[in-house]
Amino acid sequence: MTVHSPAANRWATRRAEKARRLAQVRSLADGVLLPRERIVAALERLIMPGDRVVLEGNNQKQADFLSRSLAQADPGVLHDLHLIIPSVSRPEHLDLFERGIARKLDFAYAGTQSLRISQFLQDGILEVGAIHTYIELYARLYVDLTPNVVLVAAYQADRHGNLYTGPSTEDTPALVEAAAFRDGIVIAQVNEIVDDPGELRRVDIPGSWVDFVVQADRPFFIEPLFTRDPRLIKPMHVLMAMMAIRGVYERHQVQSLNHGIGFNTAAIELILPTYGEQLGLKGKICRHWTLNPHPTLIPAIESGWVDSVHCFGGELGMEPYIAARPDIFFTGRDGSLRSNRAFCQLAGQYAVDLFIGSTLQMDGLGNSSTVTHGRLTGFGGAPNMGHDPHGRRHASPAWLDLLQTDDPLERGRKLVVQMVETFQGSGRPSVVESLDAVEVGRAAGMPLAPVMIYGDDVTHVLTEEGIAYLYKARSLEERKRMIAAVSGVTPIGLRSTAAERAALRRDGLVALPEDLGVDRRAATRSLLAAKSMADLVEWSDGLYEPPARFRSW
């Protein structure tokens, strides 16, 4: 017979503390169900000062009822919280710091709140632990940032706590599991509570992982972050898209890929059924995607270009279209999308041939960042997908095409394409002498400058001027000359001479549109398979339902 001494409890202190906190709210709850009107009182009992608290703020889905409720807590009761928010997207996320409820922040992306974060950091209201890539932040939840409390959002729950997260599953499994299996507390806001478990469309998070459920005052907020209106795509975007297809995708036989957000990449998607078709490339490039369900990909799907799409998250209005295309998307038996940001980030890191994305600033070495003076945007998933993972061991034609020697021990290489317009809409150069991020990091006391993608990971720089094939550079100085050659009349570009550009073109290190067989005169909006949101709806057979702000009819 084993005798357990009181000292044995020292191995279960987290479990004992969780039990103590749960007992504090037993009188407020009906099983796992918390009444909406008592949620602030419940949070004040379940969360302790100094706790690490995960607030589900994703690219699209926001646990906004819980974040608004937490912001109503008494700072005398709750203070000095360490918030972990993948995407800081809601005003109340920062209200928590302004009210003194939270002190420290670890995050991956900020978007619309980037200006306010920068100001709070400058004013000493907020302390940044680190700016992460998504997968890095999730990973740390299982190492040194294990949360005490996790606040998430779902479409439905039953009275046992089983959750249906549906098309917007996104980060939820990664966030919940970190708490559920280390005696943290998990609270989910839901749009609907059903009595019969059979009424759930499917179970995405089992009830044994969830401590409490509360029905929100309104459906959780979803941001259609990856929707781009084709009407805003310009001829310059079309030109750059043509160069990407000819000078990168066709040249390297790119079969699997991730597109970053932006009008440049939307243009690529929309000219595949036209320009790509003219080149006879269907079935040869762009077959497998790790991607949010971009509406601008609909024409390529409908015309037979796409074999599969695995999604980081959902996209508002795409749900009926996705349900009707199960051969393309990963869907459940109920027909709805199963997105998973953690798995899709891993796929985007290890399983694809190419990442292509834009940035706000790039320096003469190819380092880039979206952190600029007065704007702490963060990175999202770009650093994760925009680098060459040295742990990769499977080969593909594109990966092997970047080999530069016959050495049997040389690795292939992932294509990382930085797509940059040389000047921003404000007239400021995008290619700069030094990234603002360097000075921002120094002023904020960060141990590392907040660089999004390091130049030594970039294999191609694509601007409206041409393409620099950086993976061929034989020295750092040659790399600088290649970037300068496609940087136009920016300060970096003005360093390049006509003689240098001619030599780089002759050696195949830089290619202008004419070197690729791209006719600048053909780069017009007429190449777009869809020129408006209404065209996308028509391509989808009426299944795509654009959010109201994108409708012009």
Residue 165 shares a structural domain with residue 235 = no
The predicted pLDDT at position 2 comes to 47
Are the C-beta atoms of 111 and 377 separated by less than 8 Å? yes
Q: Does the pLDDT of residue 450 top 50, yes or no?
A: yes
Q: Does the pLDDT of residue 182 top 60, yes or no?
A: yes
Angle (nearest 5°) at CA 206 between 160 and 325? 120
Residue 149 shares a structural domain with residue 243 = no
Residue 377 shares a structural domain with residue 457 = yes
Residue 255 shares a structural domain with residue 318 = yes
Residue 381 shares a structural domain with residue 329 = yes
Residue 64 shares a structural domain with residue 179 = yes
Give the torsion through C-alpha atoms of 405, 407, 412, 415, to 10 deg: -20
Q: CB-side exposure of 229: number of CA atoms within 13 Å?
A: 10
Q: Does the pLDDT of residue 148 top 80, yes or no?
A: yes
Residue 315 shares a structural domain with residue 340 = yes
User: Rounded mean pLDDT of 521-530?
Assistant: 98
Tell me the one-letter amino acid at 349: Q
Helix, coil or strand: residue 86: strand
User: Rounded mean pLDDT of 369-394?
Assistant: 90
DSSP letter (8 states) at residue 323: H
User: Rounded mean pLDDT of 486-497?
Assistant: 96
Asked if residue 492 is part of any domain, the answer here is: yes
User: Rounded mean pLDDT of 381-404?
Assistant: 94
Helix, coil or strand: residue 19: helix
Mark which of 159, 188, 222 sits at the end of a domain.
222
Rounded Cα gap, residues 107 and 387, in angstroms: 20
Reported as a single tens digit per residue, the pLDDT across 217-248 is: 999 998 888 999 999 999 999 999 999 999 99
Percent of the chain with pLDDT over 70: 98
Are the C-beta atoms of 269 and 500 separated by less than 8 Å? no
Residue 216: pLDDT band (50, 70, 90) is very high
Q: Does the pLDDT of residue 194 top 50, yes or no?
A: yes
User: Rounded mean pLDDT of 34-46?
Assistant: 98
The predicted pLDDT at position 553 comes to 64
Rounded Cα gap, residues 58 and 221, in angstroms: 10
Residue 493 shares a structural domain with residue 520 = yes
Asked if residue 372 is part of any domain, the answer here is: yes
Are the C-beta atoms of 193 and 159 separated by less than 8 Å? yes
Question: CATH no. for residue 528?
Answer: 3.40.1080.10
Rounded Cα gap, residues 135 and 139, in angstroms: 6
Asked if residue 22 is part of any domain, the answer here is: no
Residue 337 shares a structural domain with residue 421 = yes
Q: Does the pLDDT of residue 3 top 50, yes or no?
A: no
Indicate whether this model's pTM tops 0.85: yes
Question: What domain range includes position 132?
Answer: 29-222
User: Rounded mean pLDDT of 368-394?
Assistant: 90
Give per-residue burial for 137-168: e unless 16+ CB within 10 Å, then b: bbbbbeeebbbbbbbbbbbbbbbbbbbbbbbb
Asked if residue 11 is part of any domain, the answer here is: no
Residue 386 shares a structural domain with residue 516 = yes
Residue 179 shares a structural domain with residue 273 = no
Reported as a single tens digit per residue, the pLDDT across 312-361 is: 999 999 999 999 999 999 999 999 999 999 999 999 999 999 999 999 99
Q: Could you give phi then psi for residue 384, rounded to 5 degrees?
A: -70, -50
Two tokens at 548? 């109201």
The predicted pLDDT at position 376 comes to 82
Q: Does the pLDDT of residue 7 top 60, yes or no?
A: no
Domains held by the chain: number: 2
Helix, coil or strand: residue 545: coil
Two tokens at 181? 């299996």
Asked if residue 204 is part of any domain, the answer here is: yes
Q: Does the pLDDT of residue 525 top 60, yes or no?
A: yes
Asked if residue 281 is part of any domain, the answer here is: yes
